[in-house]
Each structure stands twice: as C-alpha cells, then as structure tokens.
Structure 1
Amino acid sequence: MPIYVYQVINPDGSEGDCFEIEQPMSDSALTKHPRTGEPVRRVYQAPNLATRYTPKGTQKKLETKNVERAGFTKYERDKLTGQYHRTAGTDKRAPDVINP
C-alpha cells in the first residue's frame, strides 16, 4: 500500500505539521486528522522509485559490453602509475593509454 503525506491546516489557515499514513489507493483522501480531528490536506509528492538509480543498476550500465554497445570509450586508472588505460571501446582514434 502507498504511503501518503498529509498536512494539518491550522485554524488561521496556515500550514501545520505533516504526517504520513499508509492508505489503500482505493480510499478517498482524508479530510480530518485520524487522531485529533483537525482538518488536513493531502500533499502531493513525486513517487519514490528506488529501482531507477540503484548502485547495482548503475554498475550494470557501466559494464564493458554496455559501454561499447553505446559507442563510448571507457578508461580505468592504474593505481601504481596513475595512467588511464582503455578498457572498453573500439574507436581507433582513442588512445590506449592516457598520461595525466
């Protein structure tokens, strides 16, 4: 079930505290706070889609086969020499080693 954010409407019309509540999508929006009975309004927010930019997903996108398929050249730094060696890419204009 989704979690919705609601905000209390103070008697003077100003914005009050926010709270979250787990609620089925089929239920209508709350108009009163479940505990205090104060008037509330639903605060619309962007959904949290954790599957879009995860560390594992990013790592998979940067795999050698995916980088080459997209037409890019990938370099990795050698910790001993500080040089960058080409690990992906077939462009003949790109050097094999880059010295910083």
Structure 2
Amino acid sequence: MPIYVYEVITGDGSSGERFEIEQPMSAAPLTQHPRTGQPVRRVYLPPNLGSKYTPGSTQNKLSNENVEKAGFTRYERDKLTGTYHKVAGKDSAAPDTLKP
C-alpha cells in the first residue's frame, strides 16, 4: 500500500504539521486528522526515482581507470604551481605536464 503525506490546515489557511499515513489507492483522501480531527489536505511530492546519473555513479564513470580505458587523458592542476599533471591516459603524444 502506498504512503501518503498530509498536512494540517491551520486557522489562517497556512500549512501546519505534516504526517504520513498508509492507505489503499482506492481509499478517498483524508479530510480530517485521524487523532485530532483537524482539517487536512494531501501533499503531493515528487517521486523518488532511481537514476543511473547519481553523483556516485558519475564519480565512478569518471574514475581514472574508466577515463584511461575509454582512451582519454586526464590532467589535474597543481594548486601551488598552477601546472597540470597527467594522472590518467596512455597516449604517448600527450605531454606529462602542461603549463597554463
């Protein structure tokens, strides 16, 4: 059964306390809080969808091993000198160091 989010409607019409309740999809939306009897409205939230582009998977795809396996070269900047050093890639034509 799905879990729905409701919020209490306060006297001035603003949002109040939020709570979750498990209901069948065929049930009508609640109009009153189950314990207090205060008026409530259902809150529609965006779904939580899994994605192949999560920060963890993106970081894994851009790892030095994957960059090198794809035939690319990766450089990282040295903060002290400002030069770029090769950290991934097997291309012999690519220099080991680049100066800005």
TM-score when normalising by structure 1: 0.58
User: Contact 1:64–1:88 at 8 Å: present in 2 too?
Assistant: yes
User: Contact 1:5–1:18 at 8 Å: present in 2 too?
Assistant: no
User: Contact 2:3–2:21 at 8 Å: present in 1 too?
Assistant: yes
Equivalent in the alignment of 1:84: 84
Higher Rg of the two aligned structures: 2
CA-atom RMSD in angstroms: 3.7
Letter in 1 for 2:25: S
- Inter-partner Cα distance in structure 2 for 1:65 and 1:49: 28
Q: How many residues align?
A: 97
Compared with structure 1, are the counterparts of its residues 20 and 48 closer, same or farther at alpha carbon in structure 2 (3 Å cutoff)? farther
User: Contact 2:9–2:38 at 8 Å: present in 1 too?
Assistant: yes
Compared with structure 1, are the counterparts of its residues 97 and 25 closer, same or farther at alpha carbon in structure 2 (3 Å cutoff)? farther
- Inter-partner Cα distance in structure 1 for 2:72 and 2:26: 49
Consecutive unaligned residues in structure 1, runs of 5 or more: none
Map residues 46-57 of structure 1 onto 2, 5 A cutoff. 46-49=46-49, 52-54=53-55, 56-57=56-57
Per mean C-alpha deviation after superposition, the further-off stretch among 87-96 and 25-34 is 87-96
TM-score when normalising by structure 2: 0.58
Equivalent in the alignment of 2:98: 98
User: Contact 2:4–2:23 at 8 Å: present in 1 too?
Assistant: no
How big is the shift at 1:49?
Answer: 4.4
How big is the shift at 1:18?
Answer: 3.4
